[in-house]
Structure 1
């Protein structure tokens, strides 16, 4: 698996309302400001996506680079949540087989625009969050 030079970077779909809410959720709870964020629509995000086999034009997953490794789908969500203060209990969910977790993740990912909606352009974060976005 390829390596990525930056760590604790969350790749997300910047026009997806659900994905953008996920970023705000993480940022609000990440009191140590460990995680940084990159929309797949940015040059940096598209490069990261292509490196790990995600189609920037049709993303089917978010991803996180953590500890020098890439995590995708349900592993990405659980990895991020488990690093947030007070959310360590989420690690227990890794006991649920990936073969059960990922199909649920993929079902939501495939239908995210229809269920949650889509922005016309990449969402613009507030100034505090903006400092943590890599483009």
Structure 2
């Protein structure tokens, strides 16, 4: 298994689970690993970076001792997926003061806007090795 960055996501959130499936589908190099915030690894990593795992306000991408949050985490995912997704990083030209409030607005309302699963999303057997 890759020792690359870890994407921590909300496995109960329909939008977040869709993002995790997107990453598993288009990350052909196996660059990323994923951890649900509901699991032991996800909760420990959220706590390590000062985020309440019971009420996270962001997904994070952890690489070594660094955690990227909010829009920076999304850009790290796009960059890590390579082309053509990498070109979406053009939106990084928008000031963080605009990007992050929009990200947080969506994150705070994610269940209302996209729905909440009854149970945590789990990848199929072929992709399960990438989930921590």
CA contact (8 A) 1:74 1:105 kept: yes
| 1:131 match: secondary structure | helix
Determine the structure 2 residue equivalent to 1:31.
28
Whether 1:77 and 2:74 are equivalent positions in the alignment is yes
Determine the structure 2 residue equivalent to 1:94.
92
Determine the structure 2 residue equivalent to 1:47.
44
In structure 2, how many angstroms separate the alpha carbons of the residues matched to 1:17 and 1:78?
20
Any stretches of 5+ residues in structure 1 without a counterpart?
Answer: 1-5
Residue 67 of structure 1, CA deviation: 6.1
Determine the structure 2 residue equivalent to 1:110.
108
| 2:34 match: secondary structure | strand
| 2:126 match: secondary structure | helix
In structure 1, how many angstroms separate the alpha carbons of the residues matched to 2:111 and 2:68?
22
CA contact (8 A) 1:31 1:85 kept: no
Residue 89 of structure 1, CA deviation: 1.4
| 1:34 match: secondary structure | coil
TM-score w.r.t. length of structure 2: 0.91
Please, which of 17, 21, 35 is the counterpart of residue 20 of structure 1?
A: 17
Moved more, 63-72 or 51-60: 63-72
Residue 90 of structure 1, CA deviation: 2.5
| Deviations 1:83-129, CA, capped at 9 Å, x for gaps | 21212213322221111000110111011101111112211211122
